[in-house]
Structure 1
Amino acid sequence: MTAQHIETLIVGAGQAGLATGYHLQRRGRDCLIVDRQDRIGDNWRRHYDSLRLYTPAKYDGLPGLPFPAEDRWHYPGKDEVADYLERYALHWDLPVRLSTAVNRLTSRPGGGFAASLDGDTITCDNIVVATGTFGRTAHVPDVAAELSPDIRQLHSSDYRRPGQLLPGPALVVGASHSGTDIAYELAGTRATTLAGRDCGQIPLPWDSRRIRLALPVLVFAWRHLLTRRTPLGRKEMTAIRLHGGPMLRVKRADLARVGVRRTTARVSGSVDGRPALEDGSVLDVRNIVWCTGFRQVFDWIEPPVIGDDGWPREYRGEAADVPGLYFCGLSFQYAFSSMVFPGVGRDADYVARRIADRTGIRRPVQQAA
Structure 2
Amino acid sequence: MTRTSPVVVIGGGQSGLAAGYHLRRLGLEFVILDAQVTAGGAWQHTWDSLHLFSPAAYSSLPGRLMPPQAGRPYPDARHVVEYLADYEKRYELPVERPVRVLGVHRDGELLRVETDSGAWRARAVISATGTWWRPFLPAVPGRGGSGVPGRRDFGVPRREVFGGPGREVFGGRQLHTVEYRSPRDFAGRRVIVVGGGNSGAQIAADLAADAELTWVTQRPPRYLADDIDGRALFDAATARRRALDQGRTDTGGVASLGDIVAVPPVREARDRGLLKARPMFTRLVPGGVEWADGARAAADAVIWCTGFRPALSHLAPLRLRGRRGHITTVGTRAADEPRLHLLGYGDWTGPASATLIGVGRPAREAAREIAALLGAPTR
The reply to whether residue 204 of structure 1 matches residue 226 of structure 2 is: yes
Tell me what 1:224 maps to. 239
Worse-matched range after superposition: 246-255 or 73-82: 246-255
1:230-260: per-residue Cα shift (whole Å, max 9, x none)?
65657448x69xxx94433266884362433
| Cα 1:229/1:200, change in 2 over 3 Å | farther
Asked if the contact 1:296/1:311 (under 8 Å) is kept, the reply is no
Asked if the contact 1:152/1:166 (under 8 Å) is kept, the reply is no
Counterpart mapping for 1:183-262 below 5 A: 183-198=204-219, 200-205=222-227, 219-227=234-242, 228-229=244-245, 233=250, 235-236=252-253, 245-249=259-263, 254-255=269-270, 257-262=272-277
Counterpart mapping for 1:98-113 below 5 A: 98-108=97-107, 110-113=108-111
The reply to whether residue 337 of structure 1 matches residue 358 of structure 2 is: no
Tell me what 1:50 maps to. 49
Tell me what 1:37 maps to. 36
Amino acid at match of 1:195: V
User: If the length of structure 1 is used for normalisation, what is the TM-score?
Assistant: 0.85
Relative contact order (C-alpha < 8 Å, sep 6+): which is higher? 1
| Cα 1:22/1:42, change in 2 over 3 Å | closer
1:324-350: per-residue Cα shift (whole Å, max 9, x none)?
011111111355532222211011001
Q: Secondary structure at the match of 2:204?
A: helix
User: If the length of structure 2 is used for normalisation, what is the TM-score?
Assistant: 0.83
| Cα 1:264/1:251, change in 2 over 3 Å | farther
* Aligned counterpart in structure 1 of residue 307 of structure 2, from 289, 293, 313: 293
Tell me what 1:136 maps to. 133
Amino acid at match of 2:10: V
Tell me what 2:95 maps to. 96
**Gaps (5+ residues) in structure 1?**
none
| Cα 1:254/1:262, change in 2 over 3 Å | same
| Cα 1:278/1:120, change in 2 over 3 Å | farther
Amino acid at match of 1:169: R
1:275-302: per-residue Cα shift (whole Å, max 9, x none)?
3345543321111111111233423321
Q: Secondary structure at the match of 1:157?
A: helix
Q: How far apart are residue 100 of structure 1 and its match?
A: 0.5
Tell me what 1:75 maps to. 74
| Cα 1:72/1:127, change in 2 over 3 Å | farther
Identity of aligned residues (%): 28
Amino acid at match of 1:204: D
Tell me what 1:157 maps to. 178
CA distance in 2, matches of 1:13, 1:294: 19
Asked if the contact 2:226/2:261 (under 8 Å) is kept, the reply is no
Number of aligned positions between the proteins: 348
Tell me what 2:114 maps to. 116
**Gaps (5+ residues) in structure 2?**
139-162
What's the C-alpha RMSD, in Å, of the aligned pairs? 2.8
